[in-house]
A = this chain, B = another copy of it.
């Protein structure tokens, strides 16, 4: 390949590739910031006496719709009784 440049190595379009990579890097950066914000909220809550682990369970439960949540809880309850786990 005669006119091979950094933008076109072995048939790979370097410009296009770099553009994708940079878009991803920007998005990863944003995501990282949001994760830091979330950690901060948990930390603040903890400072006011709340238990972060339990809060995470609440977040999960709220994310499920009510019907699913109830169905799942009832089934778990049933299984627990079946094996005698209180």
Chain A contacts to B: CB under 8 angstroms: 6-10, 12-14, 16-18, 20-21, 23-25, 27-28, 30-31, 34-35, 37-38, 41-42, 44-45, 48, 50-51, 53-55, 57-59, 61-63, 72, 75-76, 78-85
Contacts and interface: CB of A to CB of B under 8 A. Distances in A.
Q: Is the interface of A mostly helix, strand, loop or mixed?
A: helix
A6 B61 CA distance: 18
B85 A62 contact: yes
Contact of A41 (B27, B31, B61): B27
A25 B79 contact: no
Contacts of A34: 27, 30-31, 34
Contacts of A20: 41-42, 44-45, 50, 55
